Structure 1
Amino acid sequence: MQIFSHFLKSPAKAENVIPPSLLNHYFDEMINHPDSPFVLAIEDLKKLEETSDSTQEYLEYLLEDTIFISLHLTFYEKLFIVLGQHPHLAIEMMDKFSEDIKEREFIIGQETFCHVQYIENHGICQGCKAHDNHQDVFALIEHYFNQNIDFFIQLYLGMQTIQYSFDKLLYDILPENKTLLALQSEQTILEFRKYIFNYVSNELK
């Protein structure tokens, strides 16, 4: 699953608009809380900026964190799809997902490093562990060397807001609404992800 392609395309025409997801209203409820996913993402962005000594360093942090978060989201998406296929194993799979966080983040960290190196080398790779997946981040190269901070801020906030929303969905919403488990699918999760990203984009206008 390509990690950025859904968000780097031109705005969809009317006939391509995705219908509302069954999960969208849960996100609408989340944003009414003081610690909403978007608010938490904004706080993370402020911390990131405060720790940066220069615009270039800020850009590098945004690039690295955005790729890391986006790769992490693909693990969530795969889990949600499997939960939809095997809802009777939900508790066991959720527990296993939580237990594997260190191993998962190590794998994601390695791939993130490879992608960042690829981008900083102007799209040149001599062959690394993530070589076959570099096309997923190819579109970021131009924005990175143009120092398009606004682009990366929007992408970062979008990915981070989705991350917090997925956490809420996995650990709070699905366990209390088990009928939703069987309704999870790749399309459902994609719609939910796009809905959140569009919300963030509108908030930044």
Structure 2
Amino acid sequence: MAEALALIDYGAGNLQSVHNALLAAGARHVHVTSDPEIVAGARRVVLPGVGSFKACAHGLKKIPGLVEAMEQRVLQDGVPFLGICVGMQLLATRGREHGSTLGLGWIEGEVLPIERTDPAIKVPHMGWNDVRPMPHHDGAELVEVGEAYFLHSYHFQPDSGHDIAAMTDHGGGLVAAVARDNLLGVQFHPEKSQAYGLALLERFLEWKP
């Protein structure tokens, strides 16, 4: 039987593109949902996100029971989780966009503005860039060397380097992916990253942490 996957709808995600990419990668029974009961029964959970950290965090937390259902299913039951772009950043302790906003706190760290270390460096970081896995990391089998599509002005800085699964470079090193146990977060957009992104989603769908 195909596994049911919950694609979280909280008003802040590129849902249709992510949904289509998951189907193209081989997913079945993708539920686009904000219903805590559906999340509580999902075998995999995907949290997309576009826009500001503050707006996304508030949108997620204002849906009654949704965060609690995610915490139970992901943190307690241990089903595979994928966060995309701001969905990855929401794993952090807090974000520093438009003030200080608490995240989910699943991976300790902060979301900070990308610093312009050189006038030639453009913010937002937009377009195709290299993804370099950290070979020592447990999540290295999920995130491979390649090029992916990025679009962000803020970046996740985990407290522990061990949570960094991959890096990219934009006027200096930026975290491209984080991972811990059954958690995977990618700063880039796999749904816009063509063959590279589809291959990552395929690996996520087969992942058994």
Q: Into which bin does the TM-score normalised by the smaller protein fall?
A: under 0.3
Higher relative contact order (CA 8 A, sep 6+): 1
Q: Which has the higher strand share?
A: 2
Which structure has the bigger radius of gyration?
A: 1
The normalised TM-score by structure 2 is 0.22
Q: Which has the higher helix share?
A: 1
